[in-house]
Amino acid sequence: MSTENEGNAVPSAPSAPSTPPVPPSASTPPQDAHAAAHPAPEPPRTPPAPAGPPTAPLPTAPPAAPPAAPPAAGWPPPPGGPAWGAPLPAAGGPPHKRSGGGLVAAVLAAALIAGGVGGGIGYWAAERNDGSTSSTTVAAGEAPAGFKREPGTIAAVANKALPSVVTIEAKAGGSAAEGGTGTGFVYDKEGHILTNNHVVASAAEGGTLSATFSNGKKYDAEVIGRAQGYDVAVLKLKNAPAGLAPLPLGDSDRVAVGDSTIAIGAPFGLSNTVTTGIISAKNRPVASGDGSGAGRNSYMSALQTDASINPGNSGGPLLDARGAVIGINSAIQSAGSGGLGQSQAGSIGLGFAIPVNQARTVADQLIKTGRPVYAVIGATVNMTEEGEGARIADEGENGTPAVVPNGPAAKAGLKPGDVITKFGDRAIDSGPTLISQIWTHKPGDKVTLTYERGGKSTSVEVVLGERTGDSD
C-alpha cells in the first residue's frame, strides 16, 4: 500500500451533518410525515336522492310567511340564519330524518378545514419559535431531537474513535515533491502517535511531519523511533494538546475469524474515512516492500480483513466491534501489483494489519530506547523457495556462515541444508513465513522447532537470541 497521495485534487466536502447518518440497519423505512399524521380521507360520497319529491331550489328572497323548518342537511343555512358552527335552534316538532350521506360530507369538510388550519398554525408557530406555551400541532413520524445510537453500533464506535485518529503528512527534506499521506492514532496521553514505518520513512532524515486531527487542528511531529522490519514507527507531537484520548488496545491473540472490523484512515488523502468488514484470516504471512525499491522488506504474521484499505490507510487503526485496536493497517493485496505490498492500486478486499500485541511491544521498545529489538535464530534461510519449508542456506550474506557459530540454531544442532518445517505450532512453507513467525516472539523465548535432514524429521528446542536495530 503506497503512502503517496496521487496528487488528485480532492473536491471540497459538503458540510457535515450535525449528527452522523443513521445506519441502514438501525433505521425504519422512510415514510411521508404528513400521511402519517393525517391519513387522507376518502372523497365524500354523493348523497343518495331522497325518497320523497325533489327538494326545491333555495329562493332568492324569503317568502312572506316562511315555514319554521330546519335547513336541508349538508347545505349552509340561508342568509340571516345561524353562523357557521353555531348550534341549530330547537325545532318545534319531531325531527325530520336526514340523509346520512349529507351529514358525513359536512363532517369531512369540517375536518379537512380544521386540519388544514391547525397544521398551518402549528407550522407557523414552530417557524416563529416565539416561546408561546399554546398548543401546536406536532407531525407524527419526525425523528426525535435527542436521537442516540446504542453503544456498539458502527456509528457509535467510529464517533468515539475518530477524535484519536490523525492524518499524517510526510515531506522529504529538500524536496516538497517527495512524501505522502498516511494515518496514525494516539498511543498515550504524552502525545505519542503509532503508525507504519513506511508512512514516515521519507521524512525521517531531515524531512517534516505533521499530524492533523479530525477537528482540523494540525501539529508538527517528530520521529521517536522506527522499526523497518516490523513496519512500525512512533512519532511525538510537538506542543501536544492537553486532553489527548489514547485509543484502547485490544488483544489480537483472541481475535477470531469472522469478528467484525472497523478501519479508519485517509485513503488517497480522504481523511477520517471509515470502512467495515470482518477478520478474514489470522496468522497470514506477509512480506511487504517499503516502496523504495531497495529490497528492504517488512515481515508480519498478519490479520487479514476485507474492510476496504487503500493507499493512505497505512498506519491507521483496525478496530474490533468494541472500538479497541486489534491491528495497524499496513499492506494490501492488489490485482494491479501482482503481489503483497504498498501498491498504488485500490482495494480488492484483501487487507493486512500488524497484530496489535506485536505492535505494542515494538512501540514500547521504540519509546524507551528509540531502537527496535528483533528475535532471531542465528541462521540465514532461503527467501525465494516456497512450499516445502524454509531451507537454511549454504552460506550467509557476504560469505559469512549461514549458521552463526554459538547462536541459537547452532546450539540446537541445525546445519546448512536443513529444512525448517514447523516453528512452535505453525507450519512453515517459506523463509518469509519463518521470519514472520519468529518476530511474533521476544528474545529469550523457548520455541520447539521441527526440521528435516536426509528425509528424517527432528524436533528441537531453540532459545531465541536478539538483534538490536535494523540492518542496512
The answer to whether residue 129 scores a pLDDT higher than 60 is no
Q: Find all residues with CB under 8 Å of 368, minimum gap 6, and list them.
A: none
Residues in the chain: 472
- pLDDT tens per residue across span 76-117: 554 444 444 444 444 444 444 444 444 444 443 443 333 333
Q: Which of 231, 290, 320, 418 is catalytic?
A: 231
Q: Which helix (H) or strand (E) holds 36?
A: helix 33-37
* pLDDT attached to residue 159: 93
Q: Which of 2, 164, 192, 198 is catalytic?
A: 198
Tell me the CA distances in angstroms from 38 to 119, 122, 141, one per residue in order. Answer: 10, 14, 11
- pLDDT tens per residue across span 370-417: 999 999 999 999 988 888 899 999 988 888 999 999 999 999 999 999
d(CA 338, CA 2): 14
d(CA 353, CA 255): 12
* pLDDT attached to residue 345: 66
Q: Could you tell me which of 466, 408, 471 has the C-alpha nearest to residue 442?
A: 466
Residue predicted with more confidence, 7 or 345 = 345
Residue predicted with more confidence, 243 or 339 = 243
d(CA 70, CA 98): 11
d(CA 113, CA 136): 16
Phi-psi region of 469 (alpha: psi -120 to 50; beta: other; left: phi over 0): left
- pLDDT tens per residue across span 307-348: 999 989 999 999 999 999 999 999 988 775 444 544 456 778
Q: Give alpha helix (H) positions in 370-422.
A: 408-411
**Is the Cα dihedral 245, 247, 249, 250 positive or negative?**
positive
d(CA 116, CA 348): 55
Find the angle CA(139)-CA(151)-CA(24) to the nearest 5 degrees: 55
The answer to whether residue 291 scores a pLDDT higher than 90 is no
Q: Which of 2, 210, 298, 314 is catalytic?
A: 314
Picking from 142-146, 430-434, 446-450, which range would have the lowest pLDDT averaged per residue?
Answer: 142-146
pLDDT > 70 fraction of the chain, expressed in percent and rounded:
64
Give, as one character, the DSSP assignment of residue 259.
Answer: -
Average pLDDT over every residue of 463-472: 87
Asked if 3 contacts 312 with a C-beta cutoff of 8 angstroms, the reply is yes
- Most confidently predicted of 179-183, 205-209, 463-467: 463-467
Average pLDDT of the residues of the chain? 76
d(CA 424, CA 419): 15
d(CA 2, CA 267): 10
**Is the Cα dihedral 189, 191, 196, 199 positive or negative?**
positive
Q: Find all residues with CB under 8 Å of 118, minimum gap 6, and list them.
A: 137
d(CA 194, CA 330): 12
Q: Say whether 198 is catalytic.
A: yes
Give, as one character, the DSSP assignment of residue 40.
Answer: P
* pLDDT attached to residue 272: 92
| pTM > 0.75 | no
Average pLDDT over every residue of 165-184: 83
